[in-house]
Amino acid sequence: MIERRPFGRTGHLSSVTLFGGAALARVNQADADRALEVLLRYGVNHIDTAARYGDSELRIGPWMARHRRDFFLATKTGSRTAREGREDLHRSLERLRVDHVDLIQLHSLGHPDDWDQAMGPGGVLEAMIEARQQGLTRFIGVTGHGWTIAAMHRRSLARFDFDSVLLPYNFFMAENERYRQSFEAVLTVCRERNVAVQIIKSIARGPWATTDRTHATWYQPLEDQADIDRAVHWVLGVPGVFLNTAGDLALLPKVLDAASRFERRPPDDAMATMLDAKRMTSLFGLAT
């Protein structure tokens, strides 16, 4: 079974590995239901999906009839205006077959123009605060990708008291001193405020180098169990964080198996050896 710990200030004890609902974007219900059995077997009790993850919410909806109380349920809106955000949330509730979610997140809020609109008058944040007051969500978070997202999350936390953040982190990204410092800075703020920190792209190897893709992830992932073990254990070695599983059902049991066996963080020299051997590269272009 996978360890559980408090998910920030929410009062929920979440499994340290969260199910990334992007893995359900293009699968049938039978495959989705088999994934649910894997989650239950490992004790995963937190689902993270999004309005823009294809059919993911539709696949999760049937689970909720039997297992709503078994999961902390999070989704996301990628809209930037209050009107569109309200529409997104109500559509998500309908697709998920629930009357509320535990966490709604502002999805991929990394560009300054998007940030200004989302956080400003008539922006989506207004609608999510309203939704919280109406009982449609219990908590509000923010997510993002790219080399600048840690710095943007600090800006977001200065603007609003979010309950969670989500951002990429792995050994390759930590080798960039500027990103590592930005990540550690936002982590410090989150610890001070008891804000939950979710990590994505833990097993990312780099962009696909070929059109013959072997997994549903938009990036090429690590595939061997030993490599996944190192990558997962390295991220889980950051005290207090949560790791989101990759967007591919074939990788799900490998990531959960790695998480279930976590004891200690692998040394950096072992990680550097893997980085070189697997030719790990940036998903987000050149670091600025």
Rounded distance between C-alpha atoms, residue 68 and residue 29, angstroms: 17
CA angle 96, 255, 263 (to 5 degrees): 125
**Portion of the chain with pLDDT greater than 90, in percent:** 96
What average pLDDT does the chain have? 97
Per-domain boundaries in the chain: 4-277
- Asked if pLDDT for residue 135 goes beyond 90, the answer is yes
Give the single-character DSSP code of 219: S
Q: With cut-offs at 50, 70 and 90, classify the pLDDT of residue 103.
A: very high
Q: How many residues does the chain have?
A: 288
pTM of the model: 0.97
Nearest-CA neighbor of 91 among 76, 102, 71, 112?
A: 76
Chain centroid to Cα 236, Å, comes to 14
Amino acid in position 81:
T
Token pair listed for 173: 């990204």
- Asked if pLDDT for residue 86 goes beyond 80, the answer is yes
Higher pLDDT, 288 or 198: 198
Token pair listed for 13: 């004890």
The pLDDT of residue 210 is 75
Question: Which residues, 6 or more positions from 223, have their beta carbon under 8 angstroms from its beta carbon?
Answer: 214, 215, 251
The correct CATH number of 4-277 out of 1.10.3720.10, 3.40.50.10320, 3.20.20.100, 3.40.50.720 is 3.20.20.100
The pLDDT of residue 211 is 74
**Portion of the chain with pLDDT greater than 70, in percent:** 100
Rounded distance between C-alpha atoms, residue 201 and residue 76, angstroms: 17
Q: With cut-offs at 50, 70 and 90, classify the pLDDT of residue 286.
A: confident
Amino acid in position 188:
T
Question: What is the rounded average pLDDT of the residues 187-195?
Answer: 98
Q: With cut-offs at 50, 70 and 90, classify the pLDDT of residue 288.
A: low
- Asked if pLDDT for residue 259 goes beyond 70, the answer is yes
Phi, psi of 189 (to 5 degrees): -60, -45
Rounded distance between C-alpha atoms, residue 94 and residue 218, angstroms: 27
**What residue has token string 């008891």?**
194
The pLDDT of residue 254 is 98
Kindly tell me the burial class for residue 18, based on how many C-beta atoms sit within 10 Å of its own C-beta (0-12, 13-18, 19 or more): buried
Question: What is the rounded average pLDDT of the residues 266-275?
Answer: 96
The pLDDT of residue 285 is 86
- Asked if pLDDT for residue 287 goes beyond 90, the answer is no
Question: What is the rounded average pLDDT of the residues 132-149?
Answer: 98
Three-state SS for 72? strand
Give tens-digit pLDDT for 164-178.
Answer: 999 999 999 999 999
